[in-house]
Amino acid sequence: MNIAVPQKLPTNGLAALREVELGAPANAWLQAVSAEARGPATWKRRKQAEARELLALAAICPRLRVDHLDLADSLRAVVFLRVPVALQPSDDGELPLAHLAVLGIEYRQEFLTQPTPGYSYVQILSPTGELWYPNVVRRPPPLGQPLCLGVQLPAGIRLRELIVMSYSALTMQAFSTRVMEINGVFNTAAAIWWDKNLQRVPLSRTPILGTDDLDPKE
């Protein structure tokens, strides 16, 4: 993945992504997918606004790349995220880490008006090995594995928040030491292992907009 020099972060942070100017290719892409958007006018406008924020976030976040974007019905996107990803430990306790996650995101119209289970938004498409998280739904490859971002997420949650929450979940910056008491544990073995290995949490302390762990040559 090429690491581009990010634009300056807006004064008000991620809530002000609308202030970020899109480059010509990104703006042309946004116009093209917006022309294919279907549904009520309010839903089309919301999809366009969410898509613009996603492209703006990618413009200021060197670890994020948008690879696919579709606004036809639901908003669908595929993003590449530079982030440590925990894989199943070896028998001697070594914890392998991947360093890139490919996420499939679906943002549906009903998400605007009703709370939704936290596994409904994001699927991990890669890596496809045994992901070692209590909140990742176990599925055999090549199916994507849903990433649970909470028991229930509020109506109208922004797409930018889903990206940040996904990063926090994969780095385990949002990990709870009482994981076995929380609804939504999909991998009991991983939950028990992490409860016994809390010294390994988090996998990274770098915030999503940080670059300390990025190699500019990648």
Q: What is the tens place of the pLDDT at every residue in 76-93?
A: 999 999 999 999 999 998
Give the residue extent of every domain in the chain.
21-200
pLDDT digits (tens, 9 = 90+) for 95-112: 999 999 999 999 999 999
Q: 94 is written with which tokens?
A: 């070594």
Q: Hunting for tokens 């430990």 — which residue is that?
A: 89
pLDDT at 138: 81
Q: Which residues pair with 147 in a beta bridge?
A: 122, 136
pLDDT tier, 129 (very low <50, low <70, confident <90, very high otherwise): confident
pLDDT at 182: 56
pLDDT at 2: 32
pLDDT digits (tens, 9 = 90+) for 160-170: 999 999 999 99
> Mean per-residue pLDDT for 116-132?
92
- Tell me whether residue 49 is exposed, middle or buried, using C-beta atoms within 10 angstroms of its C-beta: 0 to 12, 13 to 18, 19 or more: middle
- Better-scored residue on pLDDT, 15 or 216: 15
pLDDT at 93: 87
pLDDT at 217: 56
Q: Is the pLDDT of residue 5 over 60?
A: no
In sequence order, what DSSP letters do the residues of 77-125 get, joined into one string?
EEEEE---EEBPPPTTS---EES-EEEEEEE-GGGGTS-EETTSSEEEE
Q: What does the alpha-carbon distance between residue 181 and residue 84 come to, in Å, rounded to a whole number? A: 25
pLDDT digits (tens, 9 = 90+) for 21-32: 999 999 999 999
Cα of 180 vs its chain's centroid, Å? 23
pLDDT digits (tens, 9 = 90+) for 108-120: 999 999 999 999 9
Q: 74 is written with which tokens?
A: 């639901």
CATH class as words, domain 21-200: alpha beta
Average pLDDT score over the chain: 89
- Which range has the worst mean pLDDT, 22-26, 45-49, 123-127, 189-193? 189-193
pLDDT at 15: 73
Burial readout 174-211 (b: 16 or more C-beta within 10 A, e: otherwise): ebeeebeeeebbbbeebbebbeeeeeeeebbebebbeb
pLDDT at 215: 74
